[in-house]
């Protein structure tokens, strides 16, 4: 890996760590303001916590949808080219290429796994909504 890619990856890691730390800080500040010992919880407080829980499940589910779409794209490329690894994907030239009927099976399997990942990513917010309704009532 050349130095520009290493620098980019380290920069992305630092930005993600900083963003994660900020999210943890603001969440802890919000929860400490909401959960005071001398004030009993109100229905509005429960609605706010439910909304935060739902937003977190949405933020957790949507990256899975993107990854699933990419895996489905790779599977379609395998099927279209009829080889594994597909041409133009950036694998080293020393990787043995598989051709024939087996690559069709690999393409369908990869597309199926991408579809499952997409369905899980889309159903995670629905599951969060259902859990929110169960505990919020």
Per-residue pLDDT of the chain (137 residues; tens, 9 = 90+): 577 778 888 888 888 888 888 888 888 787 777 766 666 666 677 777 777 878 888 888 888 888 999 999 999 888 888 887 777 776 666 667 777 788 888 889 999 999 999 998 888 888 877 877 776 65
pLDDT on residue 114: 94
Whether 70 and 21 share a structural domain: no
Q: 59 with 77, same domain?
A: yes
pLDDT for res 116: 94
Number of domains in the chain: 2
Same domain, 34 and 52: no
- Tokens 């109100």 correspond to what residue? 42
pLDDT score, position 72: 93
C-alpha torsion angle, residues 76, 78, 80, 86 (rounded to 10): 130
Residues 64 and 1 in one domain: no
- pLDDT (0 to 100) of residue 36: 64
Q: Are residues 87 and 33 in the same domain?
A: no
Residue 111 is predicted with a pLDDT of: 93
Residues of the domain holding 33: 1-38
Helix 43-81 / helix 101-136 crossing angle, nearest 10 deg:
170
Q: What is the pLDDT of residue 109?
A: 92
Whether residues 34 and 93 share a domain: the answer is: no
Residues 95 and 49 in one domain: yes
Please report the pLDDT score of residue 9 as a whole number. 84
């Amino acid at each position: 890996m050349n130095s520009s890619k290493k620098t980019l990856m380290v920069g992305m890691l630092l930005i993600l760590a900083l963003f994660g730390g900020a999210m943890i800080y603001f969440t802890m500040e919000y929860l400490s303001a909401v959960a005071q010992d001398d004030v009993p919880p109100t229905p509005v407080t429960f609605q706010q916590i439910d909304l935060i829980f739902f937003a977190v499940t949405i933020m957790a589910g949507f990256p899975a949808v993107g990854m699933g779409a990419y895996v489905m794209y790779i599977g379609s490329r395998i099927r279209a080219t009829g080889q594994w690894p597909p041409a133009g994907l950036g694998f080293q030239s020393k990787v043995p290429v598989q051709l024939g009927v087996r690559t069709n099976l690999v393409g369908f399997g990869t597309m199926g796994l991408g579809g499952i990942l997409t369905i899980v990513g889309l159903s995670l917010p629905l599951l969060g909504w259902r859990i929110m309704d169960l505990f919020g009532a």
